[in-house]
Chain A
């Protein structure tokens, strides 16, 4: 199934489109998405460790703007947001 990850903050450096799309297996969770993004960085950003660290410390949110846990199950065509460490004000 297909999912879209909306990028925010420093994760926008991963794509000019401000989003990433992945094909993932049914019943995948946020944990699986994280693995996909880490693989994407290995392949497209020369295994950049700073970017990988950023993903590992990021939260994810649903379309309803709720922060979700690593076990949160993803549906087909779902859009989730990646929330890297914040720093407004």
Chain B
């Protein structure tokens, strides 16, 4: 069971209550939430917010692939996974991503939660433009996913 969505911050807010509702319907005993938020300082610069850009269809595809691959790689067959990532501007301390996982046992849930966020970092086409208190802004360096 997977819920995967891009949340456009110009029209909607990312909300952990939705993850709780989704996971409570799954009846799994071990539930873990990972919440990513915008840091107020990066590389000694005072951050005021981040604009997230994404290739939405490819992002959802990557979430689905990560979900499917977790079965083969982690041997976790029964699970519920909730993934929402923002697109658009978010201010400091606001949430950028919510990953909720539900499994039968806690070790599975911890492993699955870590697997999902690490794979998103490696392969999901999302980009960050950081904004600073001096009104400058900068696209952050990322990980190349070139295929050669």
**Chain A residues in the interface with B (C-beta under 8 A):** 6, 8-10, 12-13, 57-59, 61, 65, 67-70, 81, 83-89
Contacts and interface: CB of A to CB of B under 8 A. Distances in A.
Contacts of A58: 144, 146
B85 interface: yes
Interface string B61-76: 1000000000000000
Nearest to A65: B58
A88 B145 contact: no
Interface of B: 36, 52-55, 57-59, 61, 85, 96-97, 117, 120-121, 123-129, 139-148
Closest 5 CB pairs of A and B: A88-B126, A9-B127, A87-B142, A85-B142, A10-B139
Contact of A86 (B96, B117, B125): B125
B123 to A, nearest CB: 7
Contacts of B124: 86, 88
B141 A67 contact: no
27 contacts: A8-B53, A9-B53, A9-B139, A10-B127, A59-B147, A61-B55, A65-B55, A67-B146, A69-B148, A83-B55, A83-B58, A83-B145, A85-B144, A86-B124, A86-B126, A86-B143, A87-B121, A87-B126, A87-B143, A88-B52, A88-B59, A88-B96, A88-B124, A88-B125, A88-B127, A89-B85, A89-B97
Nearest to B122: A86
B85 A88 contact: yes
B146 A84 contact: no
Nearest to A69: B147
A88 B55 contact: no
B148 A88 contact: no
